[in-house]
Each structure stands twice: as structure tokens, then as C-alpha cells.
Amino acid sequence: MKLRSERLPRACSGQPAPEGPAENCSRAALFAKAEELLAKRTAGGDPLARFLKGQLYYEEGLYEEALKQFEKIKDTDFQAMYQLGVMHYDGLGTKEDPEKGVEYMKKILDSDSLKARHLKFAAAYNLGRAYYEGCGVKQSTEEAERLWLIAADHGNPKASVKAQSTLGMLYSVSVLKDLKKAFFWHSEACGNGNLESQGALGVMYLCGHGICQNTKAALECLREAAERGNIYAQGHLVEYYYNRKFYSTAAAVAKRITENDDIDMLAKITDCLPTYVAKGAAMAAFYLARCLQLGLGVEQDQASAKKYYSQACLLDPAVASDLELAANLGRI
């Protein structure tokens, strides 16, 4: 499990990693210039400069150098303390030490300093993750829930929107299952811009989970989430089109989804859980296979159908098995 590194002030304006030699030279020159300017600011006594220098190294993946900078100011800079918590927990630039990472997060959460206030929501979210997975602390779903509720702060958009979405997931599938609470928290997170909750909300409206079934609201959520890259929403749209016999549309949407099966990369790009990305991709692959097998909306192609059935099984065996059973029973 990786902790979330808070969005902190950037040391310089960075662009996505360039590919060509000229761009690499330009990036290296910008990095060197930023490093030089921050060294001057540090020598001049600027209290923020050392943190910014550490953050510059962190964003460039120079974790050992970043760690050195943060260590020097950890007792006076809560932002540095937070980054150290993430780095020790995940083993970035140092040996992985979840207990030490948890210790830093607890210090931030328990601090009365005004300088720690803006980091408390993120620290509470990370501590909740640690307790939920029992990493660095004794596993406790109840303690995870308590911490995520602190981080979510009643849906405050300035709090941890990720915690709001995570609570939606927690109340959907865990021992604390409560679909009305799940709907509430996904609604809060969606209203605050969370992509994963927007897709989940669409499915809840579509199936009538935690709320009265509302196909219009479901399609609004699913289509917008799909346009923003939510694979889980895209998979459910494929299923919706297929069930309503819009086979050519279902096949076309599914084909686009199946062109990229790098689940981890898609999850990183969209900031969605890999589990749900895989579910959506598996649904798309299965329904595409079904269309190809039966010649629904596309030309019949048994070889391609077999390929996509296999892809669905690899992506999520449980989803593929459930859909296969439904197909055998004549439900799809």
C-alpha cells in the first residue's frame, strides 16, 4: 500500500517528463537552475527554501536527497514531517518502515500547532489506510472508519475528498456495510470532484443501491465519469447498452476500453482503485466477446471472441465467472 503524498507547494513549475534529447537537456537545465536558486535562498535564511529543495528532489524521484533535506527541518516544518512519514512508510529513499511512517502521521494529527492544521485531513486519511490494512499498526476497520470520518470532515471540500470516497467504498463492501451511508459519502465526494465516486454513484442509481433507482441520474453520472476516464463507469455503460440491445454501441465502447489493459497505469492516471478499474475492463472485454461470438452489432468472429473472453478472465475472474453464468442462464 502506498500512502498519499500531500499536494504541497512545488519548488518549480514542472512539466511531464519529456522524451527527446533537447527536452531532456532543457529539463536538466531547469532543474539545475531551480537547485541553484534554492541554494541561494537557503543560504540567505529563507525558512521555506530547504523544504522546497527537498520537494524538488522528491518530485524528481531523487528520494535520498529529498530525505536529507526533510530530515534537517522535520522538527520545525510539519510539511517536511509529513513527507518523511510517506517516505518511511513506503520505503522511498530509505528502508521501508511503516511504524515510523505511522508515528509521523500521528504527530501531525495530534499536534495543536496552527502550522499542522492544513495537513491533518491528509494525515488522518493515511492513518486510516494503515489501520484498514494493518500495516504499521494493528488492523482495525473501526479505527480506520473513525479516522476517515475525521479526514472527510462532513463532506468539507477542503478536507480529504479521497477519504469521502473511501468511506463510500467502505460502507459498500466491508463488515460495516450500509448502502445509505455509502450513497451519502459517494455523493459528497462526487460533489467535490472525485472521479471514482462519480462512477460508483452512477452504478448505485442504476441498481437502486442505497437510493431509489433512477436511470436518468445513473446515465448522467456514468457518462460524465466515463468521459473523464473512469473505466468502471465505462464498463457499466457497455453493459447498459448491451442489455438494451444497442449492440453496435456496446461493442464500439468496449473495443476502446480493451485497447489498453495496463490496469495499474490506468488506475494511476485516473486516481481510481485498480480493483474497480479491472472490474470495468473485464466487463467490457466480456460483452465485446459476447457480441463477437453471436455477431451482435459486429461481424461474427469466434477467434476474437475467445481472445476477449480470456482477457476478461485475466482481468477479473469473478466478474467473468458471474457474467458467464448469467449468459448460460439466458439472462444476457
Cα separation, 6 vs 21, whole angstroms = 31
- Residue 243 domain flag: yes
Is the pLDDT at 210 greater than 50, yes or no? Answer: yes
> For residue range 246-259, what is the model confidence (pLDDT) as tens digits?
999 999 999 999 99
Q: Which amino acid is at 18?
A: P
Is the pLDDT at 41 greater than 90, yes or no? Answer: yes
- Residue 6 domain flag: no
- Residue 147 domain flag: no
Q: How does the average pLDDT of the chain come out, rounded?
A: 93
* Domain total in the chain: 1
- Give pTM, 2 decimals: 0.86
Q: Any long-range contacts for 137-143 (C-beta under 8 Å, 24+ apart)? A: 137/98, 137/99, 137/102, 141/170, 141/174, 141/175, 141/176, 142/176
Q: Give, in order, the Cα–Cα distances in Å from 2 to each of 119, 135, 228, 277.
A: 17, 11, 24, 17
> For residue range 79-106, what is the model confidence (pLDDT) as tens digits?
999 999 999 999 999 999 999 999 999 9
- Residue 192 domain flag: no
- Residue 167 domain flag: no
- Residue 304 domain flag: yes
What is the gyration radius of the CA atoms in the chain, in angstroms? 23
Q: Give, in order, the Cα–Cα distances in Å from 173 to each of 71, 170, 222.
A: 39, 6, 20
pLDDT bracket for residue 5 (50, 70, 90): low
Q: In this predicted structure, which of 20-24, 294-298, 304-308 has the lowest mean pLDDT?
A: 20-24
- Residue 144 domain flag: no
Is the pLDDT at 22 greater than 80, yes or no? Answer: no
- Nearest residue to 196 via CA among 161, 158, 171, 157: 161
Domain of residue 269, residue span: 229-332
> For residue range 112-127, what is the model confidence (pLDDT) as tens digits?
999 999 999 999 999 9
- Residue 327 domain flag: yes
Q: What does the pLDDT read at residue 10? A: 31
